[in-house]
Amino acid sequence: MKQICYILTSSYDYRIVGVYCLESQFMEDIGKYFAGVTSSMATMCNIEIPFINVMTKMDLVENKGEVEKYMDPDSQLLMEESSKVMSSKFMELNKALVRVIDDNSIVSFIPLNIRDEDSIGYVVSHADNAIQYGEDEEPKEPQELEETEEYEEYEEYEQD
Ligand SMILES: Nc1nc2c(ncn2[C@@H]2O[C@H](COP(=O)(O)OP(=O)(O)O)[C@@H](O)[C@H]2O)c(=O)[nH]1
Ligand SMILES: [Mg+2]
């Protein structure tokens, strides 16, 4: 995958954004959530392209207030929740993993509700932003502006 991305970006001048999708059900089980966050981070570090993380199937989440804390995973939350359900012998491992996640602080999720157009637009804008899509578009030059229909209408209006 890394090689494919490299060829596409270097030889064909494509700009690629990686989209890591984690289903919202993963928030119900801290173990699964933990696995999702670490696997996202591992993927990001491996592929080395601009990357966004999306929490999908948000339409299935009933208690929307509860999920905010899972969008930006912080060490406190991960430690507390994992110690509740996991055996203490994994404590040191969890601590080490949480430290890696925290030190890099690169994993945060963008919620996606597929039934909500604004939500889709929000995810797309993040993807665009990650690859700076549209940023090198030239603003319209004045002479180009004069050729547009709006400008002609404006001139007619001015003459009246
Ligand atoms: N409610 C809801 N269901 C979805 C959504 N995306 C996929 N599904 C359903 O979830 C099931 C599994 O699909 P998906 O997770 O996308 O694929 P899989 O993980 O490869 O099996 C299918 O029945 C989809 O129709 C979503 O955003 N909201
Ligand atoms: Mg699935």
Q: Which residue has the higher pLDDT, 34 or 136?
A: 34
Q: 130, 17 in Cβ contact below 8 A?
A: yes
- Looking at residue 81, its pLDDT comes to 75
Q: Whose CA is nearest to atom 24 of ligand 1?
A: 57
Q: How far is CA 94 from the centre of its chain?
A: 24
Strand, helix or coil at 8?
helix
* Phi/psi at 120 (5° precision): -65, -45
pLDDT in tens, 4-33: 988 988 899 889 999 999 999 888 887 788
Q: 90, 79 in Cβ contact below 8 A?
A: no
Q: Whose CA is nearest to atom 11 of ligand 1?
A: 57
Domains of the chain and any CATH numbers: 2-159 (3.40.50.300)
pLDDT in tens, 86-137: 777 778 887 887 887 777 666 789 999 999 999 999 999 999 999 888 777 7
Which residue type does 23 have?
E
For residue 142, what pLDDT band results from cuts at 50, 70 and 90? low
For residue 48, what pLDDT band results from cuts at 50, 70 and 90? confident
Q: Which residue has the higher pLDDT, 110 or 81?
A: 110
Ligand 1 proximal residues by C-beta, below 6 Å:
56-57, 59-60, 114
Mutate to test the pocket of ligand 1, among 57, 60, 116 (most ligand atoms within 8 A of CB): 57
Nearest ligand to the C-alpha atom of residue 36: 2
- Looking at residue 139, its pLDDT comes to 67
| Distance from Cα 66 to the centre of ligand 1, integer Å | 22
Of the candidates 89, 85, 81, 97, the one whose C-alpha atom is nearest the C-alpha of residue 40 is 97
Q: What is the DSSP string of 51-118?
A: EEEEEE-GGG-S-HHHHHHHHS--HHHHHHHHHHHS-GGGHHHHHHHHHHHHHH----EEE--TT-HH
